[in-house]
Amino acid sequence: MSQGTPPLWEFVDICKAYPGVLANDKVCIKLLDGSIHGLLGENGCGKSTLIKTLSGVQQPDSGQILYKGKAVQISDPQDARDKGIATVFQEFSIVPTLSVGENIFLGNMPKTRFGVIDWKKVNESAAAVLAEMDVDIHPEAMTGTLSVGEQQLVEIAKAVAMKARMIILDEPTAALGEDEIERLHQLLRKMRSQGTAILYVSHRLDEVERIVDEVTILRSGRVVRASGETEINVSQIVNAMVGEDISEHYPKEHNATSEVVLRASHLSTKNGVHDASFDLHKGEVLGLGGVLGSGRTEIARALFGVDALTGGTVTLNGAPLKVRHEIDAIEAGLALVPENRKFDGLFFNFRASGNITAASLGGLSKLGILDLKAEDEGTLRLIEELEISPQAEQKTVNFLSGGNQQKIVIARWLFSDAKVLIFDEPTQGIDIGAKIAVYKLINLLTRAGKSIILISSDHDELLAMSDRIAVVQHGSISRTVPASDLTHDDLVRASAAQLTHAATEERQ
Amino acid sequence: MKRVFDSQLIGPFAAMVIVALVVAATTDRFLNPGNLSNLSLQVSIVALIAIGSTIVIIAAGIDLSAGSMVALLTMILAQFLKMAGIPLLFAVPLILVVGGLLGLVLGMITAYGRIPSFITTLAALIAFRGLALTFNNGSPIFSLDPALEPLFYGKVAGIPMPFFYLVFFYALAAFTMNFTKLGREIYAVGGNPAAAVLTGINVRKVQTLTFVIAGFMTAVGAVLMSARLNSGSPNYGQTLELQAIAAAVVGGASLAGGRGNILATLMGAMTIVIVQNGLNLNAAPSSVQNIVLGAIILLAVGIDMWRAEISSILGRLFGRSDQSVKTASPAKPALSKDA
């Protein structure tokens, strides 16, 4: 940090209150040119409030915003853009039905002197921006047809096109696979070397460790560790975020037995599963390792009857299992906790009870009439047992935090007494405290003799919480080994091998 | 019973009472027993059809076919009675079955044929009217059966028959939606179809069933329509589907699905009919009635959408926090009992 030049942006004692909560309490932060600044904290710590203030969405109640040492106001989002601040929110603001070029220049289309859009210039300038970023996307491609990772890059291209000096990224990797994260990081490093200031918000601490130059940690609206006060390493960051010494980030219990519960032999589907075989033991957590697109999720879909099997067999407790629809899998005692709890998991029109009993309505009713007393009792028991917010039964679940929502989705399968649970990215987008709660839930389940298939892009989590790991490549299981025999690097290498291979295949 | 009479009823109930008070203030004929009994006759057909419309809407569908289906079914009933000579006792149940079957067809086209219900039922709205015209060269059929009229005009203990139908079908529907597996599945399918699939709910079957219910309730409405006029006509039931949807919406049902309350729909239907009645009693022309009906629909949905803003304005005006409005949803007393 050079003493002479003032920071690009500086917040001094920024306060912002919402009814009943002081969201930012005298927050100070300095954002420097050519630096990637991590902004960390649990959900509700005031990160979003700070981002909204910086991007002009709202005004602080008090405090000063300094731009290169001079007090300024960021009066609205357009003003923020004019001052060179670009924000990439978690929910993308791209239009899927428009081309990449159109999206990059949306709202600011180059026009000919006749006032119509200069398409040649749109596509040329877009191509120039994408080339500058080293990104291989065609400007005329329909944005909706790109992968999520590529859409993310288009979103960043918008920022580059407007020559932003300050880029705010809110959970940029939540939907990305390992290779796409790496690509994003490369791009960010490049932008940093060109002098751009980057504010980086993420729950994935492993990647924070990899990319960030300095961190500011918020808790309950206050800065608990200013930049330079914390070493950038996961355990220190976690302790500062949670405010207590968390000795066990991954409280893994080993409950695996040798009894085989589910045996998948030579599974194949049209959707990318080729000859996949594995055993799942009672009380075991079997991790599926591999990159996004390796076939992890597809194997889960095949087991659960979402995609039809074109070959292979599944046995459950020794008996053959025929799954043609999801209902068959559920009745056999399988459960899928889907990757995207917002879109595929929760009923936002229900309170906790309706969500928790949704997969058990048959068993909960006699002659089609629901036993509402049993429902209430079961719900209350699970709310208590899983330490779900007591609010959960007063309001519909859209009012709950991500962690509580995830617990409710899992509680559904505890209520239905599923024997084999497939967890697809169970901790994505939830904060550390809630993650640990999910890990404890996994322990609770395996202790009760249930078996779990865990899919996670967070390698540390996968290694720490699994008993064994099946490495998935090209829709098949390349090997199954005890988790303790694998390292983070092994998984990354396995992923890389898949990518190289895929690239060669593509070329041929 | 807490589940049936939940907070969703407060708004529609308040709207109905306010409208009734306003109308009562403008004319003293409103509260006259004859007029009130007339009201229950007026509301009955729309309110019965609105049961089906609401259930379809809760499952995130829409049924535009009801008005034309009423016309078609009155013509088929007339055929049964006059041409085929089927006794009333059999003809009426038969019509209910036909209504259910028509709903089954629409539901299967929608759910299994993957055609949006708006399109399926719009096509049916047009086609059913045409189908109704193919009977009797498109002319109405009169004087169907002397025993038909009492189904609508009859009274038991001085209370008009339609009142009993309303009580019976609304009780049955409220029970189904709040206390049965099917009802819960309908709310789940409307709330999040993708999640419903993953919890093992047969989404297509549930969607289809909502249209079967709607077809059946439309047939109930059609029988009453025939009884009221002792005739069948291809011109009956114009815009009935829109009135039924309006009743559901005024009652707080969300067209996005997953949200709606059967009894609130009854209050929505009552609100609409009371306004029409009030305008009638004050000799307003029908043009005004339609304009007012449109305004009510906008106002009802608007109040729902702007609830937070309205409560904060009210809070500022009357100097109380908006907490009381927000926490109107019932806390469960069961908490302390069961623990």
pLDDT of residue A498: 56
Cross-chain Cβ contact B181/A368 below 8 Å? yes
Contact A41/A16 with Cβ under 8 angstroms?
Answer: no
Report residue A245 as tokens. Answer: 């010494």
Residue of A339, A346, A361 to mutate, interface with B, max B Cβ within 10 Å: A361
Cross-chain Cβ contact B332/A394 below 8 Å? yes
The nearest alpha carbon in chain A to B3 belongs to: A372
In order of start, what are the domains of chain A with their CATH numbers?
A: 9-242 (3.40.50.300), 255-333+419-431+448-508 (3.40.50.300), 341-417 (no CATH)
User: Distance between CA atoms of A277 and A266, rounded to whole angstroms?
Assistant: 5
The nearest alpha carbon in chain A to B194 belongs to: A344
**Domain extents for chain B?**
7-291, 306-339
Task: Report the complex ipTM.
Answer: 0.82
pLDDT band at A449 (very low <50, low <70, confident <90, very high): very high
Contacts of B180 in chain A (CB under 8 A): 365, 368-370
Cross-chain Cβ contact A358/B196 below 8 Å? yes
**Who among B182, B197, B329 is closest to A395 (CB)?**
B329
Residue of B57, B112, B179, B192 to mutate, interface with A, max A Cβ within 10 Å: B192
pLDDT of residue B330: 35
pLDDT digits (tens, 9 = 90+) for B69-79: 999 999 999 99
Q: In angstroms, what CA-CA distances link B126 with B46, B117, B130?
A: 20, 14, 7
Q: How many helices (H) and strands (E) does chain B have?
A: 16, 2
pLDDT of residue A408: 92
Taking 90 as the threshold, does the pLDDT of residue A179 lie above it? Answer: no
pLDDT digits (tens, 9 = 90+) for B207-261: 999 999 999 999 999 999 999 999 999 999 998 999 999 999 999 898 889 999 9
Average pLDDT, chain A: 85
pLDDT digits (tens, 9 = 90+) for B146-195: 999 999 999 998 889 999 999 999 999 999 999 999 999 999 999 999 99
Taking 70 as the threshold, does the pLDDT of residue B333 lie above it? Answer: no
Cross-chain Cβ contact B332/A376 below 8 Å? yes
**What would the mean pLDDT of A397-407 be, rounded to a whole number?**
85
Contacts of B3 in chain A (CB under 8 A): 372
Cross-chain Cβ contact A380/B197 below 8 Å? no
Taking 90 as the threshold, does the pLDDT of residue B54 lie above it? Answer: yes
Q: What is residue A175's three-state secondary structure?
A: coil
User: Distance between CA atoms of A151 and A135, rounded to whole angstroms?
Assistant: 11
Residues 6+ apart with CB under 8 A from A39: A29, A47, A50, A51, A199, A200, A201, A215, A216, A218
pLDDT of residue B222: 97
Chain centre to alpha carbon of residue A214: 22
Taking 60 as the threshold, does the pLDDT of residue B322 lie above it? Answer: no
pLDDT digits (tens, 9 = 90+) for B246-293: 999 999 898 889 999 999 999 999 999 999 899 988 888 888 888 888
pLDDT digits (tens, 9 = 90+) for A101-143: 999 988 778 888 888 888 888 899 999 988 888 888 899 999 8
**Percentage of chain B with pLDDT > 70?**
91
Cross-chain Cβ contact A412/B199 below 8 Å? yes
Residue of A328, A344, A395, A410 to mutate, interface with B, max B Cβ within 10 Å: A344
**Who among B179, B195, B331 is closest to A347 (CB)?**
B195
Taking 80 as the threshold, does the pLDDT of residue A174 lie above it? Answer: no
Contacts of B329 in chain A (CB under 8 A): 394-395
Residues 6+ apart with CB under 8 A from B225: B45, B70, B74, B236, B237
pLDDT band at A501 (very low <50, low <70, confident <90, very high): low
pLDDT of residue A246: 59
Q: Closest approach of chain A CAs to the CA of B249, in angstroms?
A: 17
Burial class (CB within 10 angstroms; exposed 0-12, middle 13-18, buried 19+) of B258: buried
Among the listed residues B113, B84, B56, B46, the one whose alpha carbon sits nearest the alpha carbon of residue B276: B46
Cross-chain Cβ contact A346/B201 below 8 Å? no
**Who among B188, B334, B335 is closest to A358 (CB)?**
B188
Contacts of A395 in chain B (CB under 8 A): 329
Q: Closest approach of chain A CAs to the CA of B131, in angstroms?
A: 37
Q: In angstroms, what CA-CA distances link A409 with A386, A414, A452, B33?
A: 11, 9, 15, 54
Report residue A458 as tokens. Answer: 């967070």
pLDDT band at B324 (very low <50, low <70, confident <90, very high): very low
Q: Closest approach of chain A CAs to the CA of B3, in angstroms?
A: 10
Contacts of B181 in chain A (CB under 8 A): 361-362, 364-365, 368-370
Cross-chain Cβ contact B194/A364 below 8 Å? no
pLDDT band at B107 (very low <50, low <70, confident <90, very high): very high
Angle subtended by helix axes B33-58 and B240-250, to nearest 10: 80
pLDDT of residue B337: 31
Contacts of B182 in chain A (CB under 8 A): 368
Q: Closest approach of chain B CAs to the CA of A201, in angstroms?
A: 29
Q: Specify the CATH class of B7-291 in words.
A: mainly alpha
pLDDT digits (tens, 9 = 90+) for A465-495: 999 999 888 888 888 889 888 877 777 666 6
Q: What is residue B210's three-state secondary structure?
A: helix
Cross-chain Cβ contact B200/A346 below 8 Å? no
For residue A26, report the phi and psi dihedrals to the nearest 5 degrees: 50, 55
User: Distance between CA atoms of A14 and A52, rounded to whole angstroms?
Assistant: 12
pLDDT of residue A166: 92
Cross-chain Cβ contact A380/B339 below 8 Å? yes
**Who among A344, A345, A361 is closest to B181 (CB)?**
A361
DSSP A22-60: EEEEEEEEEE-TT-EEEEE--TTSSHHHHHHHHTTSS--
Q: What is residue A322's three-state secondary structure?
A: coil
pLDDT digits (tens, 9 = 90+) for A296-337: 888 988 999 888 889 999 999 989 998 888 888 998 999 998
**Percentage of chain A with pLDDT > 70?**
93
Taking 80 as the threshold, does the pLDDT of residue B109 lie above it? Answer: yes
pLDDT band at B321 (very low <50, low <70, confident <90, very high): very low
Spell out which chain A residues touch chain B, with contact meaning CB-CB distance below 8 angstroms: 304, 326-327, 329-331, 336, 338, 343-350, 354, 358-359, 361-362, 364-365, 368-370, 372, 376-377, 380, 393-395, 412
Q: What is the dihedral of CA A234, A237, A243, A249, to 10 degrees?
A: -10
Q: In angstroms, what CA-CA distances link A233 with A188, A209, A213, A238, A436?
A: 20, 6, 11, 9, 18
Contact A475/A298 with Cβ under 8 angstroms?
Answer: yes
Taking 60 as the threshold, does the pLDDT of residue B338 lie above it? Answer: no
pLDDT digits (tens, 9 = 90+) for B110-148: 999 999 999 999 999 999 999 999 999 999 999 889 999
pLDDT of residue A219: 84
Q: For chains A and B, what is the number of CB pairs under 8 angstroms?
A: 89
**Who among B3, B258, B332 is closest to A393 (CB)?**
B332
Among the listed residues A429, A430, A393, A431, the one whose alpha carbon sits nearest the alpha carbon of residue A411: A393
User: Distance between CA atoms of A343 and A428, rounded to whole angstroms?
Assistant: 14
pLDDT digits (tens, 9 = 90+) for A351-386: 999 999 999 998 899 999 999 999 999 999 999 988
Q: Work out whether strand A21-31 and strand A9-18 pair parallel, antiparallel, or are unpaired.
A: antiparallel
pTM: 0.77
Cross-chain Cβ contact B200/A359 below 8 Å? yes
**Who among A343, A349, A370 is closest to B180 (CB)?**
A370
pLDDT of residue B263: 95
Spell out the SS3 assignment of A433-471. HHHHHHHHHHHHHHHCCCEEEEECCCHHHHHHHCCEEEE
pLDDT of residue A506: 47
* H or E element that contains B98: helix B88-111
pLDDT band at B339 (very low <50, low <70, confident <90, very high): very low
The nearest alpha carbon in chain A to B175 belongs to: A369
**Who among A326, A372, A376 is closest to B179 (CB)?**
A372
Q: In angstroms, what CA-CA distances link A9 with A6, A26, B294?
A: 8, 16, 52
Q: What is residue A419's three-state secondary structure?
A: coil
Which DSSP letter does residue A339 get? S
Spell out which chain B residues touch chain A, with contact meaning CB-CB distance below 8 angstroms: 3, 179-182, 184-185, 187-188, 190-192, 194-202, 258-259, 329, 331-332, 334-335, 338-339
The nearest alpha carbon in chain B to A383 belongs to: B335
pLDDT digits (tens, 9 = 90+) for A63-103: 999 999 899 999 988 899 889 999 887 766 788 889 999 99
